[in-house]
Amino acid sequence: MDEIVEWVDAQARVIALVGGLDAERAEQRVPACPEWTVRDVFSHMVGLGVDVLAGDEPDDHNAAWTQRQVDDRRGHDLPALVAEWAGITEPMRAYMRVHGSRPLGDVVIHEQDLRGALGVPGAHDTPGLAVVRDRMLRRFAPKVAGRPPIALVGDDWRWASTDDEPAVVVRAPDFELARALMARRSAAQLRSWTVTGDVEPYLDAFATLGTLPGSDLAE
């Protein structure tokens, strides 16, 4: 599996998803990023690529950095944003061949954020999504180390914090667990999927990318 190809494929899906939207749809709020509209999220995705190529990428992807990407493109319509992003496809491929595929996470996570806002499900089982799930798992696992064992049980994918009998079992479709590890599922959703034990003491571990959403999300 080529993670650079996965980035290019995800980019193409996002362009197909948003490229033809009218102005009203472009200004819809994105529940997973409630401060931003569809155009704002897309502006961030474009701006992140531009900044990465320019060597401007803080380790923490802080709010000021991401907001500047949106603000700098405030007057750009979707066709202009599509053109800007398409223009850096080959430079991004070259960059990732040298520096690794960290940018894959942003495009995969926000693709689903946009799909949720627009009500257009898709790309639930791509290799790229599995890669990003496993990256987020590397943030999750240290947070639950030393606690009573927890297991995440999907349809085809399973992970457990230890080999011991789990004290807590969260059971949901593979895609839902992946999104939960990306901090894109609410505490209420996690509670509803818990079939053994109490997930409450583990909710903080699911906050891999900031606080959990206050309302349920779906894509």
pLDDT for position 15: 98
Q: Does domain 3-118 have CATH number 1.20.120.450?
A: yes
Q: With helix as H, strand as E and coil as C, how does the chain read? A: CCHHHHHHHHHHHHHHHHCCCCHHHHCCEECCEEEEEHHHHHHHHHHHHHHHHCCCCCCCCCHHHHHHHHHCCCCCCHHHHHHHHHCCHHHHHHHHHHHCCCHHHHHHHHHHHHHHHHCCCCCCCCHHHHHHHHHHHHHHHHHHCCCCCEEEECCCCEEECCCCCCCEEEECCHHHHHHHHCCCCCHHHHHHHEEECCCHHHHHHHCECECCCCCCCCC
Average the pLDDT over 157-185 and give the result: 98
Average the pLDDT over 166-182 and give the result: 98
Local confidence band at 31 (pLDDT 50, 70, 90 cut-offs): very high
pLDDT above 90 (res 1): no
Query: For the segment 35-89, what is each residue's pLDDT rounded down to a tens digit?
Result: 999 999 999 999 999 999 999 998 889 999 999 999 999 989 999 999 999 999 9
Return the domain boundaries, the chain: 3-118, 127-206
Say what the pTM is: 0.96
Average the pLDDT over 6-32 and give the result: 97
pLDDT for position 208: 97
